[in-house]
Amino acid sequence: MMTNDIRAIRRFWKPDGKKRSANEKKIKAWMKQKNVGTTYVSAFLYFPDFEMLRKQMVRDLDIGLTRVKFPPSAKTLRNFWKPKGKIDKANAAKLRSAMRKVGVREKTISNLLYNPVLQQDHPKIIKVLKLKGAA
């Protein structure tokens, strides 16, 4: 069964379907350090007994699927929208209003933040909201 850990390791090992030597060396060095019972990456990926070790490898090598870097403007808007990690309804309404003012038709705030095409609108929205931070 293809798990997220297997996907993450495969993308690290063969991001474009071709092996990356440097990444393969990191994987094999980790496997040797942990005394994994094989030197074959493909066996490590698919043999069920290695499931817990795969999870540990993803953590240790920091190769999870969710490694996304956001521009500072997205962080500024996200912190306004979700101070302390929870949605502030009043700020969400202000954010939607600012989106309309600058002509952003997207209705979902998360799409505004994470869609690379919409990131060009962040500075305008930050200016309308009079936020400090990346504009």
pLDDT tens figures, 41-87: 999 999 999 999 999 999 999 887 655 567 899 999 999 999 988 99
What is the rounded distance in angstroms from the CA atom of residue 104 to the CA atom of residue 135? 16
pLDDT of residue 133: 67
Average pLDDT over residues 17-46: 92
What is the rounded distance in angstroms from the CA atom of residue 109 to the CA atom of residue 79? 12
- Contact (CB, 8 A) for 113 and 120: no
Which 3 state secondary structure label does DSSP give 66?
coil
**Residue with token string 């440097």:** 22
> Can you say how many angstroms the Cα of residue 122 is from the centroid of all Cα atoms in its chain?
19
Q: What is the pTM of this model?
A: 0.51
- Contact (CB, 8 A) for 33 and 26: no
Average predicted confidence (pLDDT) for the chain: 89
